[in-house]
Structure 1
Amino acid sequence: MDVPSEDVVAIAKADGAERRGRFARIALFLRQVINELKKVVTPTRKELVSYTGVVLAFVVIMMALVFGLDTLFGFLVQYVFGNGVNPG
């Protein structure tokens, strides 16, 4: 669970005690965004390659699943409703 930094909590409590104006709320939000962005860790090249491989594999699997279901349902519709040609 992510715990906010103490200074952000103190600022939020102090600001919460009084009614904040629109610009004060925007400033508080921006301070919180900057504090959260400082916590971001850039992955190493090895991790990045690994994560990319996992995502690409997942996408390929999902594409195959959707293609298979689409083909199956196409055949089922063709079987149930025929090919659309009226016998003459």
Structure 2
Amino acid sequence: MSDSRAVRNTSREKRTSPATFYRQVVAELRKVVWPTREQLWTYFVVVMAFVLFMMAMVALLDLAFGKLVFWAFA
């Protein structure tokens, strides 16, 4: 059985109010470097090409291993 006092936070830090938290979130979001429309389109095309390539590779491997298993156990 664990000691419940060891689990508690011994330093009594003051909690952040929701308004302060919101202001901090907005301040952090202003620091973000957002991509341009052209960059976003390029990233989208690259990701889609990679996903389609991986889908094709997995499908071909599945087909090849399936045929191999049917050949071995038929």
* TM-score of the pair, normalised by structure 2: 0.65
What residue in structure 2 maps to residue 37 of structure 1?
A: 29
Percentage of identical aligned residues:
46
> Deviation of residue 73 (structure 1)?
0.8
What residue in structure 1 maps to residue 13 of structure 2?
A: 20
Higher RCO by CA contacts (8 Å cutoff, separation 6 or greater)? 1
Which consecutive unaligned segments of at least 5 residues does structure 2 have? 1-10
Counting matched residue pairs gives: 60
- Give the Cα separation in 2 of the matches to 1:71 and 1:36: 48
> Deviation of residue 38 (structure 1)?
2.5
- Give the Cα separation in 2 of the matches to 1:80 and 1:37: 58
What residue in structure 2 maps to residue 8 of structure 1?
A: none
Tell me the SS of whatever aligns to 2:53. Answer: helix
Segments ≥4 residues shifted beyond 6 Å:
none
* Structure 1 vs Structure 2 CA RMSD: 2.3
> Deviation of residue 20 (structure 1)?
2.4
